[in-house]
Structure 1
Amino acid sequence: MTLNQTSMTVSDVINAHFDTLTRAEKQLATSLLDNYPVSGLGSITTVAENARVSTPTVARMVQKLGYRGFPDFQSHLHQELEATLSNPISKHDRWAANAPGTHILNRFADAIMGNLRQTLSQLDLADFDGATALIANRKRSVYIVGGRITKALADYLFTHLQVVRPNVTQLSPIPSAWPQYVLNMKAGDVVVIFDIRRYEHEMETFARIARERGVEIVLFTDQWASPIAKLAAHVFRIHIEAPSAWDSSVVTLFVVEALIEAVQSANWSETKERMRTLEELVAASRLFRKPG
């Protein structure tokens, strides 16, 4: 396979080749991406009919993408789908069956460094800068929400951004409360969403409602991409695999910290004044012990 496709999703491969496709192949590619990955899981005839192209067009395009044929193309889709639906027990069993005979610290270090390299190689700098500009714009209110596991990352981002700029809100972890936050959102406001595999239905519904109100979405997700990616202005697709029953948040936190610094630096003079005032308030509250 070409273009280092072993570390790319099928949608990545389609997008990478899109400009080289014929008109009919682009029509097919668009059809596949519109309801990805389900749209590619039917028979070759069904896939062709849904895209309103011929069966030979499907066969030609998947080979042009670097797959050996339609069965190979579908095999990759099934592997992706299986990976996104993996629960902690099945993840642990898969890693345990293939674990090398080295210490867990070494296996984790290798996995995390690999995640970092793959994430950085695929991270769009324009996306990063665009997300920074949205979040740094003080005319926009910023809302932050995470899922069952990623709420810890949302809390970390919120804790820093509320120091960096005003009008930052962390949503309650209870989905039934989210409509009350949407009530206060204006067109142009920003919602930062964390949604990794075993994607949460309530999160997708919330994102859709917010987007319909003109809210801009910045999404932190995994390499397979949450369905919310279709609604987001900027998407950070981060590699999260680790030799564990759990996904790794290390690289996600790395990108979050880089984003915090970028937002902080974008309006440093105002941020510095907020920090100075906050330090005065902290000193007055005697929150921390003084040295000596």
Structure 2
Amino acid sequence: MRTIQMKFPRLSKGQKLIAEYILKHYDKAAFMTAAKLGTSVGVSESTVVRFANELGFSGYPKLQKALQELIKNKLTTVQRIELSNDYISEETALKGVLKSDMENIRATLEKINHKTFEEVVNSFFGAKKIYIIGLRSSTALAEFLGFYLNLILDNVKIVTYGISDIFEQMINVSEDDVVIGIGFPRYAARTIESLSFAQSRGAKVVAITDSLLSPLASKADYTLIAQSNMASFVDSLVAPMSVINALIIAVGLREKEKISNTFNTLEEIWEEYQVYSYKDKEDDK
């Protein structure tokens, strides 16, 4: 925004129209194509591209990405609803959301550091205890990761809201432990504080978040990037879930015999206590 203000006097008449629109409606402009932005202010698409170049960007997509990075942690839920009304209708919801999630997974595959992924998996096996914290919309991710890791490793604790405060649940965190923080815009303040606490105790900190600029990443020894650009007011957690699935499978592959024994025992328990529906057996009676 400061760059636009500084360069405003030198812009052409058409470019000034674009600048004024972005300064007033940056939340909407961040998700507009160059053509749509041009139509909104009454200039050509090529003028929008030249405007991006004038600001120092190699093209309009780079300007758009910079705007998205600027606003993604500032948009309120109400603003997200307004944005989704502009770009996704009831008729296009299914296709639009699925395409958006596909793009998030594709971008994640390109961005994630494979070496860091391996180091995170290694850290699990050297840890005395693994703490997992993900609050607000990330709670589902933390619960999923914790459920499966605990079947494999037996030393996993999910930190969440409850009778005990977050810090009371982490009071014994030490340098022998690993703390996994999961968070996406808008980032839960308590998750960030928890990672700071773990860091102060010397624990290894793993962040599963959307960017190296994320406040979780600044507290982490290892950061796994999963893109979560939202298509609406609902957080897109498909790519983060895929990364978590990969972590679980990578850990499981190292403990094949143990998880085989665990699930054999569980299958017996599930059948005895009718945890799942066994319709075929009922039909045979």
Instruction: Give TM-score scaled by structure 1 length.
Output: 0.68
- Displacement, 1:129? 1.0
Separation in 2, partners of 1:115, 1:202: 26
- Displacement, 1:168? 0.9
The answer as to 2:148 corresponding to 1:166 is no
- Find the partner of 2:109 among 90, 113, 120: 120
Match of 2:93 in 1: 104
The answer as to 2:200 corresponding to 1:212 is yes
- Displacement, 1:90? 1.0
Separation in 2, partners of 1:125, 1:116: 15
The answer as to 2:267 corresponding to 1:279 is yes
Residue 100 of structure 2 aligns to a residue in which SS?
A: helix
Question: Which structure would you say has the larger Rg?
Answer: 2
1:80–1:289: structure 2 CA closer, same or farther, 3 Å change rule? Answer: closer
- Displacement, 1:281? 3.7
- Displacement, 1:225? 4.2
Separation in 2, partners of 1:279, 1:100: 44
- Displacement, 1:198? 1.8
Name which of structure 1's ranges 236-245 and 109-118 shifts more when overlaid on structure 2: 236-245
Match of 1:23 in 2: none
Residue 248 of structure 2 aligns to a residue in which SS?
A: helix
Match of 1:234 in 2: 222
Residue 84 of structure 1 aligns to a residue in which SS?
A: coil
CA contact under 8 A between 1:219 and 1:236: conserved in structure 2?
A: yes
CA contact under 8 A between 1:193 and 1:220: conserved in structure 2?
A: yes
1:101–1:183: structure 2 CA closer, same or farther, 3 Å change rule? Answer: closer
CA contact under 8 A between 1:119 and 1:237: conserved in structure 2?
A: yes
CA RMSD of aligned residues (A): 2.9
CA contact under 8 A between 1:138 and 1:166: conserved in structure 2?
A: no
The answer as to 2:156 corresponding to 1:180 is no
CA contact under 8 A between 2:159 and 2:170: conserved in structure 1?
A: no
Separation in 2, partners of 1:215, 1:228: 15
The answer as to 2:74 corresponding to 1:93 is no
Separation in 2, partners of 1:78, 1:108: 21
CA contact under 8 A between 1:84 and 1:224: conserved in structure 2?
A: no
Match of 2:123 in 1: 134
1:242–1:205: structure 2 CA closer, same or farther, 3 Å change rule? Answer: closer
- Map of 1:26-37 to 2, 5 A cutoff? none
- 1:152-193 per-residue CA deviation (whole Å, 9 max, x = no partner) reads 111111111111111111113249612222222221311111
Separation in 2, partners of 1:268, 1:67: 54
Amino acid at match of 2:232: S
- Displacement, 1:220? 1.4
List alignment gaps of at least 5 residues for structure 2: 1-53
Match of 1:261 in 2: 249
Separation in 1, partners of 2:122, 2:112: 16
Residue 208 of structure 2 aligns to a residue in which SS?
A: strand
Residue 183 of structure 1 aligns to a residue in which SS?
A: coil
- Displacement, 1:148? 0.9
CA contact under 8 A between 1:80 and 1:224: conserved in structure 2?
A: no
Amino acid at match of 1:126: K
- Map of 1:32-51 to 2, 5 A cutoff? none
Amino acid at match of 2:82: D
Separation in 2, partners of 1:186, 1:139: 10
- 1:183-223 per-residue CA deviation (whole Å, 9 max, x = no partner) reads 22221311111111121222211111111111111111124
Separation in 1, partners of 2:220, 2:268: 38
Match of 1:197 in 2: 185
Amino acid at match of 1:248: S
Residue 70 of structure 2 aligns to a residue in which SS?
A: helix
Amino acid at match of 2:171: L
Match of 1:149 in 2: 137
Match of 2:26 in 1: none
Separation in 1, partners of 2:150, 2:241: 17
Separation in 1, partners of 2:102, 2:119: 26
Match of 2:238 in 1: 250
Name which of structure 1's ranges 78-87 and 233-242 shifts more when overlaid on structure 2: 78-87
- Alignment identity in percent? 23
